[in-house]
Chain A
Amino acid sequence: MELVGCDVFVYSENGTMPDVPKQIGPLRLELMSNRGTKVWPATAARLDYFADEWRCRFTSEGDKPVKRGEVDAVVRAIMETGKPWTRIQALHLAKDGSRAFSSPY
Chain B
Amino acid sequence: MAHQAVMIRGDGTGPELMKAVETVLNASGAKMDWVDMPAGEKCILDGKPIVPDETIEAIRKIGLALKGPMTTPIGKGSVSANVTLRKKLDLYACVRPIRSLPGVPTPFAGLDLVIFRENTEDLYAQIEYMTTPTVALAQKFISVAASKRIAKAAMEYARKHKRKKVTCVHKANIMKIADGLFLNTCREVAKEYPDIEFGDNIVDNQCMQFVTKWKLYDVIVTENLYGDIISDLCAGMMGGLGVAPGANFGQNCAVFEAVHGSAPKYTGLNKVNPTALLMSAVMMLEHIGEHDAAKRITQAVEVVLGEGLIRTYDLGGTTGTQEFAEAIARKIQ
Contacts and interface: CB of A to CB of B under 8 A. Distances in A.
Interface of A: 1, 7, 35-37, 43-49, 51, 55, 89-92, 94-95, 98, 100-105
B126 A105 contact: yes
A94 B130 contact: yes
B87 interface: yes
Contact of A36 (B53, B57, B76, B87): B87
Chain A interface helix/strand/loop/mixed: loop
6 contacts: A7-B129, A36-B87, A36-B141, A55-B127, A100-B130, A102-B129
Interface string B117-145: 00011001111111111000000010101
B146 interface: yes
B79 to A, nearest CB: 7
A1 B128 contact: no
Interface in B75-127: 76, 79, 83-84, 87-90, 92, 120-121, 124-127
Interface in B31-80: 53, 56-57, 60, 76, 79
B52 to A, nearest CB: 8
Contacts, number: 77
A36 B121 contact: yes
A103 B129 CA distance: 10
B126 A103 contact: yes
B128 A102 contact: yes
Contact of A35 (B60, B79, B120): B120
Given A36-B121, A46-B60, A101 B130 contact: yes
Nearest to B85: A105
B126 A36 contact: yes
Contacts of A48: 90, 92, 250-251
